Structure 1
Amino acid sequence: MPRPVYGHAEGLPNKPLSYRHSHPWVQLSYAARGVVHVHTSNGLFVAPPQRAIWIPAGIQHQVYCSADTQINSLYIASEAASRHNATCKVLGVTPLLRELIRSFGSLPVEYDESGPDGRLVRVLLDQLSCAPVTGLMLPLPNDPRLRKLCDALQARPDSQESLNRWAVRLDVSERTLSRLFTLQTGLTFRLWRQRLRLLSALPLLERGERVTDAALACGYDSLSAFIAAFGEQFGTTPGEFFSRSSPGPGPTS
């Protein structure tokens, strides 16, 4: 790259890139509007506004976006990246970091490293190095039986099919399936499905759909159960979560 950091903003359609790919630099994908999903072999990473996905150099990944997503991507030379360089993760984006990312997108490609632009880049990298890691990640198993189950639930997060039914379908005992699930994902089946449902609700909520509709679409029978689970995962209500995000319609109850 011509400089240690390169960035640009672009609107991407709601479809995956046509191939899994990697690159020899770090990528930071931040959605000023919409929700970004990054798939790797180990997990699904989700970033609504207020979050960004850190993709280390050499990591094979595939990107999905909700409709009308506006992405600000940063590409960072590995030697300029520090703390987060080892693994893919979702970072919290403070108001200061958000404005730094947006401001950097307007700089010339060959910005003056010794002038004001270079100082802005150094502050940007410093803020990235101390950005908190958030829990917006869904671990994915390697076992082909579990992968088949997880792929089906990702396609239908509202599915009510029990682990016992899946055990019968996969010709394995429920106890074995449960043990494998915890071993390979670090989560019980119940907690994994709950996280999947909550992450699946984020694009619906971000584009302003009612909380009730998002809850039903993702498999919750009651609004109160959804709000309780959302609070447990994110530490806030859906309305409060998105009121601190980029300016948009926000969800209603």
Structure 2
Amino acid sequence: MSGQTPGAIARRLDELKQLPRPLYGHVEALPNLVLGYRHRHPWGQFAYAEQGVLEVRSAAGRFVAPPQRAVWIPAGVMHRVVCSAQTRIRSLYVAHQIPGWATDRCRVLAVSPLLRELIRAFSQVPEAYDETGADGRLAAVLFDQIAAAPEMALMLPLPTDSRLRPLCARVQAHPERRATLADWSVRLGVSEKTLSRIFLRETGLSFRVWRQRVRLLGALPALASGERVTDVALACGYDSLSAFIAAFRQQFDVTPGAFVLANRDLVEDD
């Protein structure tokens, strides 16, 4: 695959009826190569955000992978991909299920330093590698490491209830707005108690926690692109910078400033 352009790689994948080997990977880290329309693959995809922020949207929710995270997309799952301009993606395509690991749903996974280097090493393996030789053993180790990768709480669940979908769409489009669940209950003609119960049943989260996750996940692309932390905090609906920093640290175990610096280091090291 050496020397192929991103467009050529995309067309080649589209033309394949099956992968040449159980595990197939890109030679290059592709800058912002996404299919922005809804589509599905006949194989699984491990999409790794080497730099920037990658987002996969399915009927189940939004799966957001900041740098050094990846999204697992099972075969047959309809999805759409969105990413920031600076995003660089390395993808692995899996022709069969990874033994011992549930592959029935999308999920965000942590990419350890070992897994990162294995992905880079595998990107140099010939397309028709010897499955019984050293390259085949490398593929087997990659399968094991993906299976062992811990799942991250970087998913925004989306409801199917017809009363909640417009509410959720509006909150995602305007995270800075302050409408409460009580306000929405009046608009929708449903009691706040009923709306709260439906929301928890459909998403597994309270409305307050869900809206905070919308704001924090939405902050990642802006921070990765270099926007000021204060500006991002205000755009996400936070009254104070300290409140935003505290919520961000609680969700991601890092401050917004540290996240910005880490992403900047990745860009400079490229």
Q: Same fold (TM over 0.5)?
A: yes
CA distance in 2, matches of 1:116, 1:229: 46
Aligned to 2:163, what secondary structure does the other structure show? Answer: helix
Deviation for aligned residue 1:98: 1.2
Aligned to 1:30, what secondary structure does the other structure show? Answer: strand
Contact 1:158 1:217 in 2 (8 A): yes
5+ unaligned residues in a row in structure 1: which ranges?
none
2:151 is aligned with 1:125 = no
**Structure 1: which 4+ aligned runs deviate by more than 6 Å?**
none
Contact 1:56 1:87 in 2 (8 A): yes
1:210 corresponds to: 228
Code of the residue aligned with 2:120 in structure 1: it is R
Question: Which stretch of structure 1 is more off in the superposition, 227-236 or 46-55?
Answer: 227-236
1:188 corresponds to: 206
Deviation for aligned residue 1:188: 0.6
Aligned to 1:113, what secondary structure does the other structure show? Answer: coil
CA distance in 2, matches of 1:114, 1:86: 28
Contact 1:78 1:85 in 2 (8 A): no
5+ unaligned residues in a row in structure 2: which ranges?
1-18
Give the paired residue count.
247
What TM-score, normalized by structure 1, do the two folds share?
A: 0.90
Identify which of 141, 156, 163 aligns with 1:145.
163
Deviation for aligned residue 1:241: 4.0
CA distance in 1, matches of 2:127, 2:171: 42
2:266 corresponds to: 247
Paired-residue identity, %: 58
Code of the residue aligned with 1:114 in structure 2: it is T
1:11 corresponds to: 31
CA distance in 2, matches of 1:110, 1:244: 36
Question: Which stretch of structure 1 is more off in the superposition, 44-53 or 227-236?
Answer: 227-236
Evaluate the alpha carbon distance shift between residue 80 and residue 189 of structure 1 in structure 2; reply closer, same or farther with a 3 A threshold.
closer
Deviation for aligned residue 1:16: 6.1
Code of the residue aligned with 2:85 in structure 1: it is A
What TM-score, normalized by structure 2, do the two folds share?
A: 0.85
Contact 2:97 2:103 in 1 (8 A): no
Evaluate the alpha carbon distance shift between residue 190 and residue 212 of structure 1 in structure 2; reply closer, same or farther with a 3 A threshold.
same
CA distance in 2, matches of 1:106, 1:152: 44
Evaluate the alpha carbon distance shift between residue 81 and residue 51 of structure 1 in structure 2; reply closer, same or farther with a 3 A threshold.
farther
Contact 1:10 1:71 in 2 (8 A): yes
2:87 is aligned with 1:69 = yes
Identify which of 109, 112, 122 aligns with 1:94.
112
Give the alignment's Cα RMSD to 1 decimal: 1.9
Deviation for aligned residue 1:165: 1.8
2:247 is aligned with 1:226 = no
